A and B are shown apart, each in its own frame.
Chain A
Amino acid sequence: MKQRLLRDLPLLLLTFSLGAAALALIIRLVGASPVAVSKALWDGAFGSRYSLSETLVQTAPLLLTGLGVAVAFRCGLFNIGAEGQFLVGAMAATGVGILKNVPAVIHLPLLLLAGAAAGALWSGIAGLLKVYRGVQEVLSTLLLNFVALQMLSWMVRGPLQEAQKGFPQSDLIAVPARFVLLAPGTRLHAGVLLALFCAALIWFFLRWTAGGFALRAVGSGEGAAEAAGIPVRRTVLATFLLSGALSGLAGAIQISGVTYLLSDGYSPGYGYTAIAVALLANLSPLAVVPSALFFGALTAGSNVVQQRIVGIPSVVVQVLQAVVLLAFLAYAWARERRQRREEGGVA
Chain B
Amino acid sequence: MTQNLRRPTAFFVPSLIVFAALAAGCAQQSGSAGDTAASPAASATASGTGGKTMALKVALITPGKISDKGWSQSAYEGQQRIKAELGAETSPPVESPALSDVASVFQNQAQEGNTLIFAHGSEFDAAAKTVAASVPQTTMVVMGGRAIAPNLMPIQFASGQATYLAGVVAGGMTRTNKIGLVGVQKIPIIVAAFSAFEQGVKSTNSEATVTTTYVGSEDIAKAKQQTQALLDSGVDVVMHNANEGGKGVADAVMAKDGAMFIGANSDQSDLATPKNLGSFILDVPSAMLAVAKEVQGGKRGGAPYMAGVKDKAVFFKYNTKFAGTISDSLRAKVTEVETALASGTLDPSK
Contacts and interface: CB of A to CB of B under 8 A. Distances in A.
Given A179-B27, A180-B30, A194-B23, A205 B104 contact: no
A345 interface: no
B15 interface: yes
Interface stretch (A6-14, A74-82, A262-270, A326-334): A262-270
Nearest to A44: B108
B24 interface: yes
Contacts of B16: 109, 112-113, 116, 194
B274 interface: no
A180 B27 contact: yes
B24 A307 contact: no
A309 to B, nearest CB: 6
A261 B126 contact: yes
A308 interface: yes
A284 interface: no
Given A109-B17, A190-B26, A265-B99, A304 B108 contact: yes
21 contacts: A57-B104, A108-B27, A113-B16, A166-B122, A167-B123, A176-B31, A179-B23, A180-B31, A190-B26, A194-B20, A194-B23, A197-B19, A201-B12, A238-B8, A261-B126, A263-B126, A303-B94, A307-B59, A307-B108, A311-B92, A313-B95
Interface in B23-40: 23-32, 34
B12 A314 contact: no
Interface in B1-22: 4-8, 11-13, 15-17, 19-21
A259 B99 contact: yes
A138 interface: no
Nearest to A311: B92
Contact of B95 (A165, A209, A299, A314): A314
B17 to A, nearest CB: 5
Given A179-B27, A259-B99, A209 B8 contact: yes
Interface string A97-122: 00000001111110011001000000
B100 interface: yes
A169 interface: yes
B104 A187 contact: yes
Given A108-B27, A180-B23, A194-B20, A314 B65 contact: yes
B20 A108 contact: yes
B24 A109 contact: yes
A121 to B, nearest CB: 14
Given A210-B6, A265-B99, A308 B27 contact: no
A72 to B, nearest CB: 15
A265 to B, nearest CB: 6
A94 interface: no
A266 B95 contact: no
Interface of B, helix, strand, loop or mixed by DSSP:
helix
A169 to B, nearest CB: 7
B109 interface: yes
Interface in B93-148: 93-101, 103-105, 107-109, 111-112, 122-123, 125-127, 130, 134, 146
Interface string A200-224: 0100010001111000000000000
Contacts of A311: 92
Interface of B: 4-8, 11-13, 15-17, 19-21, 23-32, 34, 59, 65-67, 91-101, 103-105, 107-109, 111-112, 122-123, 125-127, 130, 134, 146, 187-188
Nearest to B24: A108
Interface of A: 44, 50, 54, 57-58, 104-109, 112-113, 116, 165-169, 172, 175-181, 185, 187, 190-191, 193-194, 197, 201, 205, 209-212, 238, 242, 254, 258-261, 263-268, 299-300, 303-304, 306-314
B20 A112 contact: yes
A175 B31 contact: yes
B100 A254 contact: yes
A104 B105 CA distance: 31
A267 B98 CA distance: 7
Contacts of B105: 303, 307
Contact of B24 (A107, A169, A210, A299): A107
Nearest to A213: B5
Nearest to B111: A50
A242 B65 contact: no
Contact of A205 (B8, B29, B30, B125): B8
A300 B104 CA distance: 9
A116 B91 CA distance: 40
A293 B298 CA distance: 42
A303 B123 contact: no
Nearest to A269: B98
Nearest to A166: B146
Nearest to A300: B104
B108 A242 contact: no
A190 to B, nearest CB: 4
A106 B30 CA distance: 17
A166 B100 CA distance: 20
B67 to A, nearest CB: 8
